[in-house]
């Protein structure tokens, strides 16, 4: 009679530990290709970061570090803090606003309203809302839509070409004398300086040899409007050239209040329902990005934890003891006690059927009846060991293993007393 399954597993484990490792198993050192494959996720993350930075630069126009162009609080070259500070020193109340509602509220009384809208955020109705009530509008680098609304008889005529003289009866232009409206090469302002051709009642100032004017005075809805074609006249980097400062101060300092209006996205008209970005709370995007980062980190961690692969030449010979031991460890790890008990019972029933002379097609009940008759044991006790008992703990499984081994030993003694197996020693079951 063969030893119980746990004993056999212990013996196989001891023999396997003492045996030398297979000679054909070798660890493969990482190759350049394998190293490159492992680096692919990091390369993808780096590419995504570069793309995000690139699109961020495109969306901001590269102006993040330079502040808001022509902002009265911006000391950068593209800002206009110098002019605003001088005007405040002369007693002018400079109020910086970014929405139409704020501009109308700040310019309730007679005031000068400067409008600089390079992104065309202000609709035509916004210019109509600002005009009237004795206000003076100074529109810097107006676009085609603004020109069509304020002065349809004035057209854009291209960039200025050099220093130009006033050449008109406008008081602010006469005091400036001569200005340089050309843009500076490293200018941070997004707009393009321009000139204008006047075909109506407007007054053209600072015209070049082709009759193109850098400053035009006209009227719109009972308001005096100045179209200034170059933001360089007001910006920090260009205000100190020729008479640029004089022109800026005289245009913007005509009233006690100056509303410095830089239209924003809030002034754009709403043309449809809000999109999902507007309806989503602000914390959703950071959380989604964090989850993606955690997922990528977990994928990389799980992919690297198995270590280098081991290559074996096929076909591979696997010892039966290794298979049995591996299956036993899987049963133990998953606490599959009933499956382990069934495996022990199947082996025991097969050997018992041979001992009592039954064919391999005999049922378990027939084997139990024959074993009970041969060993003169109660049939219920034999059936409990071979069929009915369900182990719920490891201790119950070990007890069932001992009972199966004892039943097989008793059957062998009853069938052939002279061929009785020797008394068993220590169980030697696997501890792991």
Residue in the block written with tokens 């970014």: 98
Asked whether the bond before 92 is cis by omega within 30 degrees of 0, the reply is no
Predicted confidence band at 418 (pLDDT cuts at 50, 70, 90)?
low
pTM of the predicted model over 0.75: no
Q: Could you give the count of Cα atoms lying within 13 Å of 131 in the half-sphere of its Cβ?
A: 19
Computed over every residue of the chain, the mean pLDDT equals 81
Mean pLDDT confidence for 213-240? 89
Answer whether residue 2 shows pLDDT above 50: no
Tell me: the pLDDT tens digits for 110-132? 789 999 998 888 888 888 888 87
Facing residues of 193 across strands?
none
Strand, coil or helix: 220:
strand
Answer whether residue 280 shows pLDDT above 90: no
Answer whether residue 192 shows pLDDT above 70: no
Give the rounded percent of residues in the chain with a pLDDT score beyond 70: 82
Strand, coil or helix: 288:
helix
Predicted confidence band at 25 (pLDDT cuts at 50, 70, 90)?
very low
Closest CA to 368 of 414, 399, 408, 421: 408
Facing residues of 195 across strands?
158
Answer whether residue 429 shows pLDDT above 50: no
Q: Going by C-beta distance under 8 Å and a sequence separation of 6 or more, which residues neighbour residue 223?
A: 130, 131, 132, 133, 134, 135, 136, 137
DSSP state of 208: -
Q: How far from chain centre, in Å, is Cα 17?
A: 49
DSSP state of 417: G
At residue 95, the pLDDT reads 92
Angle between helices 394-415 and 337-355 (to 10 degrees): 0
Beta strands per DSSP E along 210-345: 213-220, 223-228, 257-261, 310-311
Answer whether residue 17 shows pLDDT above 50: no
- Give the chain's domains with CATH numbers: 5-19+317-419 (no CATH), 81-261 (3.40.50)
Residue in the block written with tokens 């602010």: 172
Closest CA to 225 of 193, 242, 200: 200
Tell me: the pLDDT tens digits for 352-396? 999 999 988 889 899 999 999 999 999 999 999 998 899 989 899
How do beta strands 136-140 and 223-228 pair? parallel
Strand, coil or helix: 258:
strand
């Amino acid at each position: 009679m063969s030893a119980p399954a746990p004993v056999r597993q212990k013996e196989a484990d001891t023999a396997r530990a003492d045996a030398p490792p297979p000679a054909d198993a070798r660890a493969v050192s990482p190759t350049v290709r394998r190293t490159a494959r492992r680096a692919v996720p990091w390369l993808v993350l780096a590419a995504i970061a570069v793309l995000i930075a690139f699109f961020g630069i495109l969306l901001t126009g590269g102006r993040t570090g330079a502040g808001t162009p022509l902002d009265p609080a911006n000391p950068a070259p593209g800002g206009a803090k110098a002019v605003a500070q001088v005007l405040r020193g002369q007693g002018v109340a400079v109020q910086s606003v970014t929405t139409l509602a704020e501009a109308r509220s700040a310019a309730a009384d007679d005031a000068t309203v400067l409008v600089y809208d390079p992104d065309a955020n202000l609709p035509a109705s916004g210019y109509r809302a600002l005009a009237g009530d004795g206000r003076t509008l100074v529109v810097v680098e107006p676009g085609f839509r603004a020109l069509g609304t304020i002065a349809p008889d004035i057209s854009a005529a291209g960039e200025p070409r050099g220093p130009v003289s006033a050449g008109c009866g406008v008081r602010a232009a006469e005091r400036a004398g001569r200005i340089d409206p050309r843009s500076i090469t490293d200018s941070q302002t997004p707009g393009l300086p321009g000139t204008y051709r006047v075909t109506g009642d407007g007054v053209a100032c600072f015209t070049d040899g082709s009759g193109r004017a850098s400053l035009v005075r006209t009227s719109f809805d009972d308001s005096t409007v100045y179209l200034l074609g170059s933001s360089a006249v007001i910006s920090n980097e260009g205000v100190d050239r020729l008479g640029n400062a004089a022109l800026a101060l005289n245009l913007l300092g005509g009233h006690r209040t100056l509303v410095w209006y830089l239209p924003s996205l809030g002034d754009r008209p709403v043309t449809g329902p809000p999109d999902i970005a507007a309806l989503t709370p602000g914390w959703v995007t950071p959380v989604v990005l964090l989850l993606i980062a955690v997922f990528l980190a977990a994928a990389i961690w799980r992919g690297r934890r198995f270590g280098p692969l081991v290559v074996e030449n096929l076909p591979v010979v696997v010892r039966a003891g290794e298979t049995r031991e591996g299956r036993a460890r899987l049963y133990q790890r998953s606490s599959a006690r009933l499956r382990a008990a069934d495996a022990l019972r199947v082996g025991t029933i097969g050997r018992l059927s041979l001992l009592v002379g039954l064919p391999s097609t005999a049922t378990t009940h027939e084997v139990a009846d024959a074993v009970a008759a041969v060993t003169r044991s109660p049939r219920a006790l034999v059936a409990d060991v071979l069929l009915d008992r369900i182990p719920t703990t490891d201790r119950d499984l070990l007890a069932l293993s001992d009972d199966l081994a004892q039943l097989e030993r008793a059957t062998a003694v009853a069938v052939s007393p002279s061929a009785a197996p020797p008394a068993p020693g220590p169980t030697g079951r696997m501890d792991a």
